Structure 1
Amino acid sequence: MGQVLFIVWRESVEAMLVIGILYAWLNNHGEVAARGKRYLWGGVLVGFLCAIVLALGLFGAAELFGGAQDSFQTVMVFTAAALIVHMVLWMREHGRTLKRELESGLADNAARNNWWGVLTLTAIAVAREGSETVVFLYGMLAGADGSTLLSMGGAALLGFLLALLTFFLLQLGGRFLSWRLFFRVTEVMLLLLAAALFMNGIEHLISMGYLPALVDPLWDSSMLLDDMSPVGGVVAALTGYRAHPALMSLLAYGMFWLLMTGLMRWRQQQPAA
């Protein structure tokens, strides 16, 4: 349940950040606040509904694949890992200017009395976070039974409540928690989660016979930390740790981090170039 809690927490905080920026701008412009806020909350609702439609569409698409559901779920796992990497890179580039960009878009729409633009701006922001959450959690939801779904629902609710608390602390102006620290810490956690999802995808390919295991298992570290134990399961879900790793999985895990290191360095050099 650790993945569910973390993803819902992180994505909810980011959605609250966008909504908070737009809400604060409207509050500082009293002549347009009342009307603008109606479209703002309408955009939140539309974005949330778009995420639900995407979730239903994914499950419907999985049913259409029939016997190829394993392949479909594997593709979704790799897609989720890629989205996490994209999100980290996007926030690195736009985090500092996000507030200015959102306020500029809102000001343009208000000047043209285009409140549908405010609704669209909010809906896209909320739908983006909600859609990412749906894709991230699809693999776990697809194979869950009734009791597991109930536990996941509880973890999602707890993640949302923690997001409310986190956003409240962040709004205190860095007295307890700063946005810079929040994004730096969660960036590392997101990349670890992306590595874990990438590892899951590789293991799916091995189990389906598309990749060789090479050596399986390469070692047994269950005496130190069993990935089937409650604590080990959380560590495994959030970092990709395995007590009995196959050599192919370990090579893929190392390749992921080599690619991430190279990609980060390349993106850092782009502005200078």
Structure 2
Amino acid sequence: MLPPFLIMLREGIEAALITGIVATYLRQTGRSQWMPAVWIGVFLAVAMSLFVGTGLQLVSAEFPQKTQELFEALVGVVAVAVLVSMVFWMRKAARSIKSELHDSIDAALAKHSSGTWALIGIVFFAVAREGLESIFFLLAIFQQSTGPAAPIGALLGVAVAVCVGLAIYAGGVRLNLHRFFRWTGIFILFVAAGLLSSSVKHLHEAGIWNGLQTHAFDLSAVLPVSSLIGTILSGVFSYEEAPTVGEVIIYLGFLAATLTLFLWPMAPSREVLTHSTTQSDSHA
């Protein structure tokens, strides 16, 4: 339940943050009459994401066993790709997303003949990005999990994200977004590593990958998957009590590369450098 909850919480807050920035800017600039276009964009993005997710789930149900394993492996790889891109995109874009959205809105509404459609498009593509990322992740999780825990966790994450988004828009909550996205980003990279190693297992079961299949270690006597802690670790991080050498190499190699890049200090953005230079000139 925890991974889908945190992923949907993060994705939901990202979508709510983008929508809130657009709505607040329209309100502050006296253009609240354009708000229906914002909600249309949100509705269309959510509807498209649900349609794509439902379609993929229905199609995959008709596959034979080996094709099903291959499909689950491919979905896992795609989910890892979108999760990593989400983490690194927000790490980079968080500094300038507000000003970029403001510029896009001004440019869209400057064209009176097509302003409505342009504004719908801005919100649609921003929210659809988060929605499609969520769909591929949830498909990968739902294929590895049984029972209602994962769907309930996802729904709770969305519900909490909506509440946080409304609170941020109303000005009642000030969330430390930098710290929030940093820690959830680290957690997501661990989840992604587990999904990627599970994809290697699915590729083997599909008959595509047969290398490095020797068991690296066996913790079944110490921490079996059937135990309470083992079940939690399996559900959150795709823990295996007896992983193969290939799965361990993929897991550790992925984490080593992505965590190093994610935690590496970013160079100051051009806006920060310009602001610092302006302050130094004023003091001089």
The answer for the alignment partner of 1:227 in structure 2 is 225
Q: Which residue matches 1:205?
A: 203
Q: Which amino acid letter does the alignment assign opposite residue 47 of structure 1?
A: A
Distance 1:141 1:235, change over 3 A: closer
CA distance in 1, matches of 2:221, 2:3: 21
Distance 1:228 1:15, change over 3 A: farther
Provide the residue aligned with 1:69 in structure 2: 68
Partner Cα distance (1:180, 1:248) in 2:
35
Runs of 4+ in 1 over 6 A off after TM superposition: 171-176
Structure 1 residue 203 displacement after superposition: 1.7
1:135 equivalent in alignment to 2:136: yes
- Structure 2: give runs of 5+ residues left out of the alignment: 271-284
| Helix, strand or coil at the partner of 1:19 | helix
Q: Distance in 1 between matches of 2:253 and 2:6?
A: 24
Q: Return the index of the structure with the highest Cα Rg.
A: 2
Q: Retained in 2: the 8 A contact 1:193–1:237?
A: no
User: Residue 84 of structure 2 aligns with which residue?
Assistant: 85
Do the aligned partners of 1:40 and 1:122 also contact (CA within 8 Å) in 2? Answer: yes
Query: Partners of 1:228 and 1:87 in 2: how far apart?
Result: 32
Please point out which of 26, 40, 43 is paired with 1:42: 40
Aligned to 2:280: none
Do the aligned residues in 2 keep the contact of 1:48 with 1:130 (CA within 8 Å)? Answer: yes
Going from structure 1 to structure 2, the CA distance change for 1:43 and 1:222 (only over 3 Å counts) comes to: farther
Structure 1, gaps ≥5 residues long:
none
Change in 2 beyond 3 A, CA 1:29/1:181: same
Aligned residues: 266
Task: Give the AA of the match of 1:102.
Answer: L
TM-superposed deviation, 1:11 = 0.9
* CA positional deviation for 1:173: 7.6
| CA distance 1:265–1:185, shift in 2 (3 Å) | closer
Query: What does 1:94-105 align with in structure 2 at a 5 Å threshold?
Result: 94-105=93-104
Whether the 8 Å CA contact 1:83–1:132 is kept in 2: the answer is: yes
CA distance in 2, matches of 1:162, 1:44: 17
**Conserved? CA contact 1:5–1:159, under 8 Å:** yes
Shift of 1:53: 1.9
Once the two structures are TM-superposed, the CA of residue 137 in structure 1 deviates from its matched residue by 1.1
Q: Is the 8 A contact 1:47 1:126 kept in 2?
A: yes
The answer to whether the 8 A contact 1:213-1:246 is kept is yes
The alpha carbon displacement at 1:212 in A equals: 3.4
Find out whether 1:180 has 2:178 as its counterpart. Answer: yes
1:209-266 Cα shifts (integer Å, max 9, x gaps): 423354326131653x443334433333333433322222111212212332565589
Q: TM-score, normalised by structure 2?
A: 0.81
By how many angstroms is 1:65 displaced? 4.7
TM-score normalised per structure 1: 0.84
Bigger shift: residues 37-46 or 121-130:
121-130
Relative to structure 1, the CA distance from residue 175 to residue 222 in structure 2 (aligned partners, 3 Å threshold; closer, same or farther) is farther
Partner of 2:13: 13
Aligned residue identity for 1:260 = T
Q: Matched residue of 2:225: which SS?
A: coil
Counterpart-to-counterpart distance in 2, 1:235 and 1:166: 28
Q: CA separation of 1:79/1:169 partners in 2, compared to 1, >3 Å: closer, same or farther? A: same
Please list the CA deviations of residues 40-73 of structure 1 after superposition, one character each: whole Å capped at 9, or x if unmatched.
0011101011101211332344256545122111
Residues 97 and 57 (structure 1), Cα distance of their counterparts in 2 relative to 1, 3 Å cut = same
CA shift, 1:143, in A, is 6.6
**Aligned-residue offset at 1:144:** 6.4
Taking the aligned partners of 2:178 and 2:144, their CA distance within structure 1 comes to 36
- Confirm or deny that 1:164 pairs with 2:156: no
Structure 2 CA distance for aligned equivalents of residues 252 and 194 of structure 1: 11
- Does the residue aligned with 1:194 lie in a helix, a strand or coil? helix
In the TM superposition, what is the alpha-carbon distance from 1:102 to its structure 2 partner? Answer: 0.9
Q: Distance in 2 between matches of 1:48 and 1:60?
A: 18
2:124 corresponds to: 123
**In the aligned structure 2, how far is the partner of 1:80 from the partner of 1:232?**
23
